[in-house]
Chain A
């Protein structure tokens, strides 16, 4: 009789421990997900603010023409401006390593920087690769021009894509990509 009661208490205790471990695991996963969600949201904002910095290099001559155009001709200056603002907004050191964030491991990498200069029906797609800019002209009446994020180009837009190593669940480090399109005429 005593043995049976003891066995019952032991079973209840083991069940409590199992339940406790499940609760703690769920709480830990939910905490990590909240931290990662907050980081993703803030990084997107940082990219929007940094993309907007290229506004400084809008060609004022083209803006003043009869058919006013919002275009960027100084690609290098625009890229450097975006990078400087990204460093500030994400609180990075000059080698793009976070100063305080413990979730981002190592430096972030600017993977893509693309300017879509809309000039009436044509669009100059200016892509930065390995420090140099390549320009490809497309006609938006003949084809739908989409950014890598599937945003359709109607106005001059800047796309920046960054990659970074994020400490994920249970200390696992994963490469994450965050990409933002900023329509610098009609801000989105």
Chain B
């Protein structure tokens, strides 16, 4: 894949009640946003274990978004408060171990904020496209990659 055609893989953890509904609204309203985003629906942003984020980066994501309900609006009352604390710390830790801070994006998007969803997704994808592939992605193995045709029964 040539550098100038780099299309980032973006993984988004969206909470079912707010941000996922917001993404739905963006879709039904025919708002456009980049196709790079792979959405994983979770019940609550508090469900998003920071290890999901780390694993997403290891397994090929160039950027990761975590979107949840605004503070005070969590369907489960408190989940997003825990998420806020976790991501405040995880983001700083990831940054400290060498990840560009812009690669992780955590934001509150409500069910009615279809436009906000489309806007942040577009801006985030553009940003990741400009900073390039993630350094945490696995590099191709040193041994030659076996093509499927080389496999014998």
Real binding pair: no
**A residues adjacent to B (C-beta < 8 A):** none
